[in-house]
Every structure is written in structure tokens, then in C-alpha cells.
Structure 1
């Protein structure tokens, strides 16, 4: 079902899913922590928005059981992601948080790390409500992969491309 959008480029849940993937790429490739934070916030808000688009496209209302099941998706990261969006949007302190740490990136070849292609940068990691720390790339992977599977399993939705292709998104 096509929804009458406020922003004309977003017409279907798939359009919102692709926006989610682009935000993951923008956050991953951000040149500063400020930019990374902007895109991480947009990713988290878009993840919840995608849920709402799916409900609206099906003319459904999510009851308490639906929302509990939705929050549990991607090993509970849908819920943690929603908490990050809501805490950032409403300035409410939640048990889930975002930390800054150093991250070492390396290019790998058939014999391991390719010398000269390593770099270190500051990046965010997600501290889950359980206290578990998850790096940003795994956070994006689990959430995006869950959406890919949902779209693939639903015959009323057009399948999504692999989100990894969007990790090259910089603008």
C-alpha cells in the first residue's frame, strides 16, 4: 500500500527502510563525532518510524503485544534503538546509552591485515540496558539485517537490497 507522504520521496515502507540503511552508512562514515551523533540519532528515529509506516501501510494498530514483540527484534536492539531515539528527543535518561571510544579499522587481505591501511578513530558504541557493550557496526548490522529478513519474509513487501552496500554512503 502506498501512503500519502509529507515528504514526496517517501511513499512506501521500503523507502523508509532504504533511508534507514543510508543513515547507517552516513553514521559509519562520519568525519566527526558530531556528525556521527547526528546520523545515529536519525537512524534510531527512522527505525521506529519504519515500524509505524509498516503498521499504517497495513491499516493496523500496534497493540501492547505487538510493541513488545517489535522491541525484542534484532536481539532486543529495536527496543534499545527506540530508547536512544526517545531519550535523545525528549531529554529523558534511559538505561541504554552511547559511549565514545577509540576504534581501530584495518583492511584485510588473504594474509591478514594490510600494512599501511590501518587507521584509528573515535566512534560510538552502544551500552545496552543489560550493561553489554556493542560496537556501532554490529548495532547497525543486527538492526538492518532484521529488517531485510522481515521484508524478505513478507510477500506484500518488495525485498530490500543488502544493507552493507549502504555502508559506503557518505552524503
Structure 2
């Protein structure tokens, strides 16, 4: 069952991923930023299932080569670890049921400096330095990425991957992206 009409294809789920990234990045509350980040990770991890369903890959033996490829990409490993450890409280081995350590080295709240840009609508812009909540992710390869770089890296991966497999992503309007459209 899909949440019709918005989540009926890999492209539609990708557009949801963009909206989750926007919400995550622009949330000012530490709690809300964490909530939106969790939603981003769950949506990004669901891209695997949507893509495989789109291709008609429903048997484990048909899915395994894709998962093997995705499990070598540190960004997608982090997405999997964050989504599954949050959804299931604890990562466990599928066969033994024993606790399993995440490959991702860490996810941390932090404060970062930003530049806020304001426009009067008549062509005048003002840039103001600000500080706010942020999240950083330390990947399995030791790379640490701030939230914006992490979410955009994940979205770039999926955008390119879908394009390589003939799935076109239509741009959504800014009003749809930021939630001001009905």
C-alpha cells in the first residue's frame, strides 16, 4: 500500500527525500532536527526497496547483488545503520539475533555557523552570520560530514543512480519543496 498519490514510484520517493532534507537542514530545534534527520534516513533507506520493486526484483537472490553494491558505499551504509538502529532500537544479526555494532562511527549534534540570506523581494539582499543546531555523521571510512554535505551526498548518489537506470526525476516546485503549496 502506498500513500497515494505521492509515493507510488522511486521518483516520487526521491522528491520526498528532497523535502526531508530541506526540513532537516532548516529545523532550528535540536529535537526537531533529529526527528527530521531520522525521517530523512528512513526515506533514503527505503529508496533501495522502491528501486528494487520498480525493477521487479522481489526474490532475495535477485536483490542480493544490489545490496552488495550499496553496502560498499559509506553514505548508504550510514543511512542503513541510522535508519535501522533508530527503527529497531538495536541492530541485531539476522541469523543469531545477537547484538551487532553499526559500521557508521558516529552521529553527533553540534553547533555550526551559517549565513542567512534575506531578500526584500525587490532585489536587495542581506547576509547575516548566524549559529545554530547541526548534525555531523562520521562514516565507516572515517570521513566526517556535516548534515548538509551528508544529505546532499545521499541525494546526489540516488539521483545519479536512478538516472543511470532510466528513472527520470522531475523537479518539484520550491513551494512544494518547502511546504507552502496546498
**Smaller-chain TM-score bracket:** 0.7 to 0.9
TM-score by length of 1: 0.79
Aligned residues, how many?
Answer: 156
1:121 aligns with 2:132: yes
Distance 2:127 2:18 in 1: 29
TM-score by length of 2: 0.75
**Contact 2:114 2:130 (8 Å CA) reproduced:** yes
1:67 maps to 67
Tell me, which stretches of 5 or more residues in structure 2 are unaligned?
91-100, 118-124
1:111 maps to none
Larger radius of gyration: 2
1:94 maps to 102
**Contact 2:20 2:40 (8 Å CA) reproduced:** yes
The equivalent position to 2:4 in structure 1, one of 5, 8, 13, is 8
CA RMSD of aligned residues (A): 2.5
1:145 maps to 156
Assess, with a 3 A threshold, how the Cα gap between structure 1 residues 122 and 8 changes in structure 2: closer, same or farther.
same
Superposed, 1:68-87 pairs within 5 Å as: 68-73=68-73, 76-87=74-85
1:43-101 CA distances to partner (integer Å, 9 max, x unpaired)? Answer: 1111111110111111114543321211334xx20111111111111222524221111
Tell me, which stretches of 5 or more residues in structure 1 are unaligned?
109-113
